Each structure stands twice: as structure tokens, then as C-alpha cells.
Amino acid sequence: MTVKINTAEQAASLIDKYDTFLFDCDGVIWVGNELLPSVKETIELLQSKNKKLIFVSNNSTKSRIEYIEKLLKLNINNIKLEQIINSAYSTAIYINEVLKLNKDKKIWVLGQNGITSELQNFGYETLTLDDIKDKELTMENINNLIDLNVGCVVVGLDFQLTYLKLCITLQYLLNKDIPFIATNIDSTFPFKNTKLPGAGSVVEIASFSSNRKPDAICGKPNPGMMDSILSHHKLNKDKTIMVGDRLNTDMKFGSVNDIDTLLVLTGIELESTVSNGHPDVTYYADKLGDLYALGSK
Amino acid sequence: MTVKINTAEQAASLIDKYDTFLFDCDGVIWVGNELLPSVKETIELLQSKNKKLIFVSNNSTKSRIEYIEKLLKLNINNIKLEQIINSAYSTAIYINEVLKLNKDKKIWVLGQNGITSELQNFGYETLTLDDIKDKELTMENINNLIDLNVGCVVVGLDFQLTYLKLCITLQYLLNKDIPFIATNIDSTFPFKNTKLPGAGSVVEIASFSSNRKPDAICGKPNPGMMDSILSHHKLNKDKTIMVGDRLNTDMKFGSVNDIDTLLVLTGIELESTVSNGHPDVTYYADKLGDLYALGSK
């Protein structure tokens, strides 16, 4: 049963029920460069009640520090770096804590610095085309470009994608013993009034050429990201709620992982889609800020 | 009912029944740089009976002249350029004769010179990243890199694939009125004892990012290639047979297009796979050369 949060009592009861709030950002906390109404007050209310707040994004190219900076600019304070989880960080947590990859193994990364730096922070040695020195970087030389110490492949969005990078990635993926980890599977991302190919498109070409599915996908709505969050933050699923504005990523992320969800209507979904009930939505509200605003009336 | 060609009478009857023989090359005519036994005599026998012979390949990067040169080197003579159909040529025929794209439209090509040169031979103006002059080639400038005269997109194998090329390809494919033509969909191709990503992998990323399937695929086993061959050579399907060594491309190419097939066992398939009958195989023989050799005994 999907319930609309309409009253001060409902808002208070929802806040009481959960210890941890996972937030999608765009369409929930902000839209573009504008903070949404009463979000600051809601965040502060949750902080005053010692709730754990985690901000969850699929973007692996933006660093977590940039998220903190954006929150600060919007006057949301007291958020620590570990409260920001993007798909690059989630991937690094997954490899370290779930996959428990040995630190003497290198990780081949088809992706940006956002990914390599998070992996390096956990003590892993990463390998990209830029790291291959003193070798002829051609297809003809493919057999010499493979490093036998590579023990894991990470694929995500790579603005410097080339055919040779795909060739090398395929060589590792042809070895079925090497885990294939994807940051996220968004097919596109919005950019300058249009769309550009997203991490999911890069994952798809690696997947299609190797005839393998990723062993884990560390973005919403896939379990890999939830595994990372739960493992890293030692959360209790029954006391955790996912707040988002999209059914196909945020709400699905909650429901496939058996976590309650709150849909806010400040993004792309309409009330009519959920007012008769939706299997992925536990609660919905006009806006996140209602958790504060309904009680302050 | 699948029939094995075992006797001189069966060979003669097969030759009589068909006007046109479509041949896969590798594993049928040659293996590596070796001509297979009695192939020269079989080709000459068919030529002496005025059969139309067409050599069909999915490789869009090798030019058709290179095929003629290889046949000459193997002492197979009197084959004209128009008897060689690779997926690049098939794509050009398809766009010209089946799609009938207006010549004032440009064609955006994500692929090699093999493709652009075949299209240019038919009078089309092609556009690739190399043709974009005096513009800043960056993602940020994406909206200025689009040519409004592009009326068709061709995607095939591109060893110079980059993220920016994929971005531009996506912009065209987001316009559903622009046809999306693929050369072929082989996920990989063999190279130096390993595999590299094939045209199908490049098609897949274009397809996944745009959420579109190609409107036509001009390689085996897809109907686009057969449409090109039938249209260009004015063939009668009932009098045409496809000869090949692979079930999943060559034999399927025949059967999905309602053309009889002859499987030869000089490639990757085993007799045990077809001896009890196979829905895609009309006839099979130990080798193509048997069409001559059985009669000469």
C-alpha cells in the first residue's frame, strides 16, 4: 500500500520509523542550482534527531568533494565526505569490502579519474591506457599490452574512450576468472539540452564483445550499490528508507533491495502515477521539505 | 530434409538446379592462405556452365579489390569486382537501391574508409569526424558538430572509435527520422590468436545509447545483405544457393531469406551436427571441391 505523507503526524511517524535516510540529490535536494523548499530545515531536523543521512548518486565522473561543495553552496552544512556515495566510491567499496580483492592485484579501469582515485584511496593499484609506458599502443601489439597481474576490470563512463581501450578491456574479460564490475548502467546522461552516451553504454559494449554480464553493478538501482552502502555503513535494512524522484532508478533501488521508499514529486514523476498505489513506492510526498513543513504549521 | 552430396549424380543435379552460387570465403574457398582441394576446378566448372558466382563477406574494413587479389594469388581467375560483396558494399547498395536515399543527403559514418569509399562510389557525400574542419572537437561543442544535411547513419567497425564519435552518432540517432544502418553484427573478429571487438560491438553501443535497433543490417545472416544482393544482381531466390561453413551466419543467412543452403565441412562445423538433419541446411558436403571431384572419379 502506497501512502501519501499529508499530515504532521504522518511526517513525524515516518521520521521516527527510520534511522537512515538515503537521498538521491537532483530533483530531491536541488533542481539545477536551486535548493528545493524546506529541504534545509528537513535536513537539519533529521540531523537534530541523529538520523544517518547518505547522499547517493550514479555519477562516477564528479568527485565526492564536488558534492560537498555544492551542498555547502546551497547552505546545507555538516555533511561529511563519507556521507556521499557515488558509483565510483560504491565500486571501490564493493571491490574492497564485498569482493575483497587482494591488494596485490591490479585493477584495469575503463573509466575516468573519479574511479581510479577512489580505488587508489582503498590501496589498489589501478591500470589505464595512460599507465602503459614504453610499449607501442597499437592493435597489432595487443598481446603485449596485457598485464598478468590484473585481477579485476572496472567499466564506467570514459570520455577518453578509444577502440584500443576496448580491445584491452576485452582481453581481460575473455578470462572468466577476472571479475567484471560496472559502475552503473545509465544508457545516457543529460548534457547541454541533449543526451550523451552514459556509463551503461560503455558497459554494454564491453559486455556485448565479451559475451559476459557484469558480475556487479555498483549504481542505482542495482544491488551492487546497496551491498556497498550496507557493508560500509553497517545499516539495518528495516530502519533505512530511500528517498528519490525517479521510479526506475531510486524507487526500484529501494524495492529490489527490500528497503522502504519515499517518492517526492519535485522531479519527473506525477502524482497520478502513484496515487492508486505503486509496488515500488512505500510513501510519497509533494516534496522532501514536507517532512519539516507539515509539522511546522 | 538435409541431404549429403555423396555421388556424381547428386553433384551434377545440384549444379543444374541453381543459377547463382553465393560463397562464403574463409573455410569454404580458402583456409588462411591455402586454397581448399578441388575448389579451383569447381569454380571453373561452374564458370563453364555460366553460373553466377558471388563471394560474400562480412568484413567491411578489407576492400573488395583485396578479395580479388587474394583470389588471383590462389589462382582463381576471372572474378570481377561486382562479384565480391562485403558488408560495406552491401550497405552502399542497400542505401542506394533499397532505401533509395536522396543524393543531396549526407551520410554520417561511424566506421572505416572501406565504408565511406563504397558510399562515395554510389555518389553519396559521407561525413566522419575527420571531415569536420574549423570546429572545436569537444563534447562541450556537441551542438555545433551536427550537420543538418545528414539523412542517414551507418555504423560499422571503426578502429579509430572515440567517445566524441559516439556522441555525434547518438545526436543523429536521437532523430528517429534518420535511418540507422549497420554493416554487420559480429560481436568480435579473430586477430593474432585472440579476439577484438567487431562491428556488432560498435553497433551495440550506438543501439543501446539511442534505444534504437538498426533499421537494416547489411551483413550475414541479416536480410539487409540479401536484399542488397537480390536487388543488385536481380536474382531469383529459387535458383540461388548459399554455400558456407558456419551454421549461425552462412546457413542462417540462407534459411532466413528462403534460399537453399550447402554446408561444407572444411570450416568449423562437424558432420554429426547435421547428419540427422538441420532446419537451416538443405545439403551438406565434405568440401566445396566435391561438386567437381565426385564427378571426375
Mapped onto helix, strand or coil, the DSSP state of residue B191 is: strand
Average pLDDT over residues B243-252: 93
Q: Which domains, from first to last, does chain B contain? A: 3-58+221-296 (3.40.50.1000), 89-217 (3.40.50.1000)
Average model confidence (pLDDT) for chain A? Answer: 94
Q: Which grid cell sits at B190?
A: 579473430
Percent of chain A residues topping a pLDDT of 70: 100
Please give the residue of chain A at the shortest CA–CA distance from B174: A195
pLDDT band at B60 (very low <50, low <70, confident <90, very high): confident
> A292, A42 in Cβ contact below 8 A?
yes
Relative orientation angle of helices B163-173 and B199-210, to the nearest 10 degrees: 50
pLDDT at B167 over 80: yes
pLDDT band at A276 (very low <50, low <70, confident <90, very high): very high
Whole-angstrom distance, CA of residue B45 vs CA of residue B34: 20
Distance from the A149 Cα atom to the nearest Cα atom in chain B, whole angstroms: 19
Average pLDDT over residues A229-254: 93
pLDDT at position A213: 98
pLDDT at A255 over 80: yes
Whole-angstrom distance, CA of residue B98 vs CA of residue B216: 10
pLDDT at B297 over 80: no
Average pLDDT over residues A250-260: 95
Average model confidence (pLDDT) for chain B? Answer: 94
pLDDT at position B286: 97
Average pLDDT over residues B222-241: 92
Check CB contact under 8 Å for B196 and A140.
no
Kindly list the residues from chain B whose CB atom is less than 8 angstroms away from the CB atom of residue A191. 139, 142
Kindly list the residues from chain A whose CB atom is less than 8 angstroms away from the CB atom of residue B176. none
pLDDT band at B4 (very low <50, low <70, confident <90, very high): very high
Whole-angstrom distance, CA of residue B163 vs CA of residue B144: 16
- Whether residue B77 is annotated as binding a ligand: the answer is no
Average pLDDT over residues B123-145: 95
> A41, A296 in Cβ contact below 8 A?
yes
Question: B95 to each of A150, A258, B120, B187, how far by Cα in Å?
Answer: 44, 50, 12, 23
CB atoms within 10 A of CB B114: 23
Q: What is the DSSP letter of A238?
A: G
Distance from the B36 Cα atom to the nearest Cα atom in chain A, whole angstroms: 28
Strand partners, B190: B195
DSSP H/E element including B150: strand B150-155
Q: Which grid cell sits at B5?
A: 552430396
Average pLDDT over residues B68-97: 94
Average pLDDT over residues B3-13: 96
Among A138, A145, A201, A203, pick the best mutation site for testing chain B contact (most B Cβ within 10 A).
A201
Where are any strands of DSSP class E within chain A?
3-4, 20-23, 30-31, 34-35, 52-56, 84-85, 106-110, 125-127, 150-155, 180-182, 188-191, 194-197, 216-217, 240-244, 260-264, 283-285
| Catalytic residue status for A24 | yes
pLDDT at position B146: 97
Strand partners, B4: B284
| Catalytic residue status for A260 | no
Q: Which grid cell sits at B205?
A: 553501443
ipTM: 0.88
- Whether residue B158 is annotated as binding a ligand: the answer is no
Q: Which grid cell sits at B234?
A: 536481380
Place of cell 597481474: A149
How many Cα neighbours within 13 Å face the side chain of A73? 10
Q: Which grid cell sits at A161?
A: 574512450
Q: Nearest by CB to B139, which of A159, A188, A209?
A: A159
